A and B are shown apart, each in its own frame.
Chain A
């Protein structure tokens, strides 16, 4: 049974870079996309972007200029970097597996436990 374990710094100052990593355990790394999603306090979910084992990435246009998602297939890990953070980036950040049909990976069926990231001076 696949499990996702995520880690990274939880407290940042404005203008710093958020860096999180998610490890995939108990499942093949290929054949899926792997995504990052965030949830600001008391509000809804926002898709940040996703990557596959080949390194093909897709980003939310609203964050694209500040986001880099990368993959290390040898370690079965994928990572998120978000630059120039502000208080508006304070949120719980989740990693998740994206599943679907061969023509479209469309839903997140396995989630990490989430990392609370707070941006404060």
Chain B
């Protein structure tokens, strides 16, 4: 199983929206509603911001939203703020021994 595919970078100005894609296959994203997204600031620990495709943990702003269509999941950050500048990783359950795949990561820059 290969890593999920994300664009290396994305950017937007404060207040704008940015959407990050995460492409898998019919054996992972396409087959299960278990996609999660993680935010990681430089030198920090990853933090889950979306789980089970579109659910937000307590304390995560509603500016963060997730969706899925076919083999591709997406994370949208609305109303970009400077603190949103970070690396973002998607993850999907892939069946087969509870395998969890991560995406290649996207660096979001707030211009």
Tell me if A111 and B45 are in contact (CB < 8 A): yes
The interface size bin for chain B is 20 to 34
B46, A61: Cβ atoms closer than 8 Å:
no
Asked if A46 is an interface residue, CB under 8 A from chain B, the answer is yes
Chain A residues within 8 Å of B32, by CB:
104, 106
Is B36 interfacial (CB-CB < 8 Å)? yes
Confirm or deny: A44 has a beta carbon within 8 angstroms of a beta carbon on chain B: yes
CB distance from B65 to the nearest CB of A (A): 16
Does the CB pair B104–A44 fall under 8 Å?
yes
Task: Indicate the member of A58, A107, A114 with the most B CB atoms within 10 Å.
Answer: A107
| Complex contacts, A107 vs chain B, CB 8 Å | 34, 36, 48, 51-52, 91
B45: which of A60, A94, A101, A106 is its contact (CB, 8 Å)? Answer: A94
Distance to closest chain A CB from B47 (angstroms): 8
Roughly how many angstroms separate A8 CA and B36 CA in the complex, as a whole number?
28
Pair A58/B99 contact, Cβ less than 8 Å: yes
Q: Out of B45, B93, B101, name the residue touching A104 (CB < 8 Å).
A: B93
Give the residues from 60 to 109 in chain B that come closer than 8 angstroms, CB to CB, to chain A.
89, 91, 93, 96-105
Residue A100, interface by CB 8 Å: yes
Is the C-beta of A19 less than 8 angstroms from some C-beta in chain B? no
Residue of B nearest to A43 (CB): B105
In the complex, what residue of chain B is closest to A60 when comparing beta carbons?
B99
Which residues does chain A contribute within 8 Å of B99, judged by CB atoms?
Answer: 47, 58, 60-61
The answer for the CA separation of A85 and B92 in the assembled complex, in Å, is 27
Across the A-B interface, give the 3 residue pairs with the lowest CB-CB distance, nearest first. Answer: A106-B34, A58-B98, A107-B36
